Amino acid sequence: MNKFTDVQRELVSQPRWVIDGNYNSTLQVRLEACDTVVLMDVSTVAALYGIFSRQIRHGAGHKGNGVHNRIHWGVIKYVATYRRKMRPRVMAKIEEFGAGADVVLLANRRQTRRWLRKVAVEQS
């Protein structure tokens, strides 16, 4: 067990939580504890556009908020090959460890906005 895994276990032991990010090494921890999985299942083109447009909007580097906005070959390669390489692994883990969880696949910003509005109405 490592410190990051311990932090994940502590977070998911809370009554309510939202965790953003893939973090495949600890995905099982979150899947076993969650009731809903939301996967931004965008196309490769949309994902690549997203990283470059974020770089243009926010600039590169660390802004002091815990977010490191750096584009390098490793990031580009990861994003460009995600649907082919990583997505099947993530989907397999969701199926194996997320039994009973609602799985929401959002393919674009319109679907995301619609889903967020629906959740907001259901929570009010």
Average pLDDT on 89-98 reads 95
pLDDT at 87 over 80: yes
3-state secondary structure of 102: strand
Among the ranges given (12-21, 32-41, 62-71, 100-109), the one the predictor scored with the smallest mean pLDDT: 62-71
- Helix 44-58 to helix 73-81 angle, to the nearest 10 degrees? 150
For residue range 18-61, what is the model confidence (pLDDT) as tens digits? 988 878 889 999 999 999 999 999 999 999 999 898 888 877 77
Which candidate, 53, 37, 20, places its Cα nearest to that of 100?
37
Q: What is the pLDDT of residue 54?
A: 83
Provide the pairing of β-strand 102-106 with 36-40.
parallel
Which candidate, 22, 3, 19, places its Cα nearest to that of 11?
19
Q: What is the pLDDT of residue 106?
A: 97
DSSP state of 99: T
Q: What is the pLDDT of residue 78?
A: 94
Q: Work out the pLDDT band at 65, boundaries 50, 70, 90.
A: low
**What is the Cα–Cα distance from 25 to 6, expressed in whole angstroms?**
12
Kindly report whether the global pTM for this prediction surpasses the value 0.75. Answer: yes
